[in-house]
Chains A and B, each alone.
Chain A
């Protein structure tokens, strides 16, 4: 039988390494989505990643 699982809530303190990591992860995700929908260029994506301290740079997509 399927039981509804309760998800624990965690409130992270300011400056928490886990919080900072998750914040960067979400920022990266949002920027990547803006690139995918054509809102920003690849150059802008890489620039914004750099500005946010995310050490990831994208290369032009290889044809599928």
Chain B
């Protein structure tokens, strides 16, 4: 079990930023899903989750640093302490490294499970038109809409597909 001390992070709206001791600046952002999930009930609080490097400092690539993963997991936990929030994470397919990205995120999540016992992660490989993505839904066990969110994520809600 990996239990590295998280870096302290700064919240700015739905963005969380932190700097590593190697000088890399990260941004973890939760974008409102209402930009995308227009066909779903408004009471479902779905957010898109993304991690990006803002500055690399003196590094050419982000150096391996286990404190980054524990910080990201801490931010996830903090964000989902509002139990109604849920997160959808997609791994990009543009450079065909989506499986590697998913494995990495999965490893981060599983290695920090002890710190986040109330979070559930559901994964799916989704194909739609020319899109092939690996996507994850992260939801708090006490989210009152958990079952509905899981059904939507696995495309089991027929009423949204009527009228095609």
Interface string of A12-25 (1 = CB under 8 A from B): 11111111111111
* B106 to A: closest C-beta gap in Å: 8
Chain A residue contacts of B135, Cβ below 8 A: 22
Given the interface pairs A13-B161, A13-B164, the reply to whether A19 lies near B128 with Cβ below 8 Å is yes
* A10→B106 CA distance, assembly (Å): 19
In the complex, A7 has a CB within 8 A of chain B: yes
Interface-facing stretch out of B61-69, B78-86, B152-160: B152-160
Interface size class of A (residues with CB under 8 A): 20 to 34
CB interface residues, B 44-100, toward A, < 8 Å? 48, 50, 52, 54-55, 88, 90, 92-94
Tally of contact residues, B, Cβ under 8 A:
44
Is B128 within 8 A of A22, CB to CB? yes
Set B36, B153, B155: member contacting A16, Cβ < 8 A: B155
Is A29 within 8 A of B35, CB to CB? no
* A29→B93 CA distance, assembly (Å): 11
Is A19 within 8 A of B31, CB to CB? no
* A18 to B: closest C-beta gap in Å: 5
Is A29 within 8 A of B90, CB to CB? yes
Is B131 within 8 A of A26, CB to CB? yes
CB interface residues, A 3-58, toward B, < 8 Å? 5, 7-26, 28-30, 32-33, 36, 54-56
Chain A residue contacts of B154, Cβ below 8 A: 8, 10
In the complex, B123 has a CB within 8 A of chain A: yes
* A7→B136 CA distance, assembly (Å): 10
Residue of B nearest to A2 (CB): B110
Chain B residues within CB distance 8 Å of chain A: 12, 17, 25, 31-40, 48, 50, 52, 54-55, 88, 90, 92-94, 102, 106, 110, 123-129, 131, 133-135, 152-155, 160-161, 164
Q: List 18 A-B contacts (CB under 8 A).
A: A10-B125, A11-B127, A16-B155, A18-B152, A19-B128, A21-B37, A21-B39, A22-B90, A22-B126, A22-B128, A22-B133, A23-B129, A24-B36, A25-B48, A29-B92, A56-B32, A56-B35, A64-B17
7 tightest A-B CB contacts, nearest first: A19-B128, A17-B39, A21-B36, A12-B128, A24-B36, A9-B125, A21-B37
